[in-house]
Amino acid sequence: MKYVKIANVSDFESKRFRVFTILAKKVGIFRGEDGALFATELVCKHQNWDLSTGRIEGNLCTCPRHGWQYDLRTGECLNHDSAPLRRYGLRCDGDDIYITLRPIDSES
């Protein structure tokens, strides 16, 4: 599994999340309430809407288009029968944050 450097841990001292584009996909890196970092795609499964423009409270993200809600930690859609948001592999080495180029469920 290939990882690339994308950010620094220190970038999240005053921010809870940042949004990046990886291979034309919106990906968010989040700092959970426990301080752990995780990476999740940010595209609604309903109509491919950019979830970074929606409301993000805790681990809950609400799509601004039609109100679909996702648990960002698990990717699960909470109010519709939908495929989950895909997760990206993330690891830290000192202050450097690395993530996988593709979602971990699509890696061989």
Q: What is the model's pTM? A: 0.89
Q: Is residue 72 part of a domain?
A: yes
Give the pLDDT confidence of 41-86 residue by residue, as tens digits. Answer: 999 999 999 999 999 998 999 999 999 999 999 999 999 999 999 9
Q: Is residue 107 part of a domain?
A: no
Region class of 94: left (phi > 0), else alpha (psi between -120 and 50), else beta: left
Q: Is residue 108 part of a domain?
A: no
Q: Is residue 60 part of a domain?
A: yes
The whole-chain average pLDDT of the chain stands at 93
Residue 105 pLDDT > 80? no
- How crowded is residue 104: how many other Cβ atoms within 10 Å of its Cβ? 14
Question: Is residue 87 within 8 Å of 59, Cβ to Cβ?
Answer: no
Secondary structure class of 11 (helix, strand, coil):
helix
CATH of the domain at 68: 2.102.10.10
Q: Is residue 12 part of a domain?
A: yes
Secondary structure class of 72 (helix, strand, coil):
coil
Query: How many structural domains is the chain composed of?
Result: 1
How far is residue 80's CA from residue 97's CA, in Å, rounded to a whole number?
Answer: 32
